[in-house]
Amino acid sequence: MPNTFIFDFFGVICSEIAPFWLRRYFSDEEANAIKSNIVGKADTGAITCEEMYQQLGEIAHVSPSQVEAEWYDLAVIDAQVVNLVHVLKSTYRVVLLSNAPAPFLYRLLEANQLTSLFETITVSSEQHIAKPDPAIYMYLLQELGINAQDAIMIDDNPRNVAGAQNVGIQGIHYTDYKKLCEDLREYGV
């Protein structure tokens, strides 16, 4: 029986940001390339959050401050998932593992009073490793002092779920709140 839930943030607790913002300005093909090249670099800390806004602004022909404001405007917190995390937290360890530029993520967590919801918060840009790289899952397991089989990763990206499963962490592919509740019941939660 797992005792630790590892939650992804964007696409589970909060709406996705980068894909929706990028599609405002670019074709799907361009958006995917930009997400990989610019946002991906910010996710691993290769560039700062400010550099990401600057580069995105340059190619979209808007100011970096407009990029930043639009990113925050796209953030919608799912109250049902937050309530579920509160319930789980009363019995289990609950942690956050997110691919993100740290300043952006922390500002959203603080603005929505979510920081204290998690025992630990691991951000890819601070570790210079992003999901689905096995090293980030191994880092988190070591930090928590748990074995892989003691944890369940909840992520909206199937590649990230597979990455967790590749190191022995159980995984739930998040598609919506109702399905998540059904999946948790299968684990006896």
Determine the pLDDT at residue 188. Answer: 87
Cα separation, 99 vs 39, in Å, equals 10
Centre a 10 Å sphere on the Cβ of residue 155 and count the other Cβ atoms it contains.
27
Centre a 10 Å sphere on the Cβ of residue 97 and count the other Cβ atoms it contains.
26
Determine the pLDDT at residue 69. Answer: 97
Look at the alpha carbons of 84, 87, 88, 93 in this order and tell me if their dihedral is positive or negative: positive
Q: Rounded to the nearest 10 degrees, what angle do helices 49-60 and 18-25 cross at?
A: 20
| Three-class secondary structure of residue 156 per DSSP | coil
Place of tokens 């029986």: 1
Residue boundaries of the structural domains of the chain: 4-14+77-186, 18-74
Residues 6+ apart with CB under 8 A from 158: 173
List, for residues 40-76, the tens digit of each pLDDT value: 999 999 999 999 999 999 999 999 999 999 999 999 9
Q: Amino acid identity, residue 170?
A: Q
> Alpha-carbon Rg of the chain, whole angstroms?
16
What is the C-alpha end-to-end distance of the chain, expressed in Å?
9
Q: What is the pTM of this model?
A: 0.94
Q: What average pLDDT does this structure show over 136-140?
A: 97
Instruction: Give CATH superfamily name and number for 4-14+77-186.
Output: HAD superfamily/HAD-like (3.40.50.1000)
Determine the pLDDT at residue 1. Answer: 79
Helices (H), 61-176: 64-74, 79-89, 102-111, 124-127, 134-144, 158-166
